[in-house]
Amino acid sequence: MKILKMVLLLVLLPTALLASDLKGNWVLEKSEIDYKVTHPLHHVVGKSTQARGKGYCTSTQGKFIVAVPVKSFDSGDGNRDTHMLQITRGADNPLIAVNVQFSAPVEKAFPKEISANLEIQFAGKTVKYPKVKLGMVPLEAGRVQITAVVPLSLKAFDITPPSLLGVPIEDAVPVQLEMTWKKQ
């Protein structure tokens, strides 16, 4: 019986500590953002680890901003990355900015998932993505890992999908986020 109580304490204590500790200011500690481009002849993944962000949570809501330089994405092909900068108007709009807002009671239990409204500024356009699911995993006290997939559409940002051999890439470019946030 003592062993069962100790196991329960070890499992539930970190969650209880984090649940009471979500309120406050947060800073993005580490991130990996991947975009995936699909073409009938190949698939491409571009990655960036240079996002910066900050935000805050109250007992009922959260507001965050994340920014990543367009030129920081690396697909493993310098020519492709230069072309990506051109078609996304990266010289005129060097940052992708994402405003994140959610309403969720965070006082009593640590949520495993929340639904957030995103407003993405990219390539000179602003597009809203409502109700994007954000997965949340508590780490050691004062840190949380956030994961999500944003269903980005090139046409929504007035970006003409580039083509290879006369065949354009798919309009849908899912963006996968994996971030670690730290309480300040």
Ordered domains of the chain (ranges, CATH): 2-183 (2.40.128.110)
Three-class HEC string of the chain:
CHHHHHHHHHHHHHHHHHHCCCCEEEEEEEEEEEEEEEECCEEEEEEECCCEEEEEECCCEEEEEEEEEHHHCECCCHHHHHHHHHHCCCCCCCEEEEEEEEECCCCCCCCCEEEEEEEEEECCEEEEEEEEEEEEEECCCCEEEEEEEEEEECHHHCCCCCEECCEECCCEEEEEEEEEEEEC
pTM over 0.75: yes
Cβ–Cβ under 8 Å, residues 67 and 51? yes
Print pLDDT tens along the chain (184 aa). Answer: 444 333 333 333 333 334 445 789 999 999 999 999 999 888 999 999 999 999 999 888 999 999 999 999 999 999 999 999 999 999 999 999 999 999 866 555 667 889 999 999 999 999 999 999 999 999 987 899 999 999 999 999 999 998 888 899 999 999 999 999 999 9
